[in-house]
Amino acid sequence: MHNARRLDIDLTTVDAIVLSHGHYDHTGGLKQAMEHGARAPLYLHPQAVIRRYSGKPATAGRSAWHR
């Protein structure tokens, strides 16, 4: 969300969301993006849904997948 705002990207106009891997710093904003109007198809690598941990307790960038 932060980067979309900084780049002035209207999430309702996005054609596709592509995740090459499932690290929490890449997937963490996905839930918020969907809540703010992104309705684009989601394309992801099969391993992107493997549960991962940062090794840090509940950081701000913690994955939205595990909330």
Note the pTM of the prediction, 2 decimals. 0.60
Q: With the CA atoms of 57, 44, 33 and 56 taken in that order, what torsion angle do they form, in degrees rounded to the nearest 10?
A: 10
Residue 65 CA to chain centroid, in angstroms? 9
Q: Is the pLDDT of residue 4 over 70?
A: yes
pLDDT digits (tens, 9 = 90+) for 37-65: 888 999 988 888 777 666 666 555 555 55
pLDDT digits (tens, 9 = 90+) for 5-26: 899 999 899 999 888 877 767 6
What pLDDT score does 19 carry? 83
What pLDDT score does 48 carry? 80
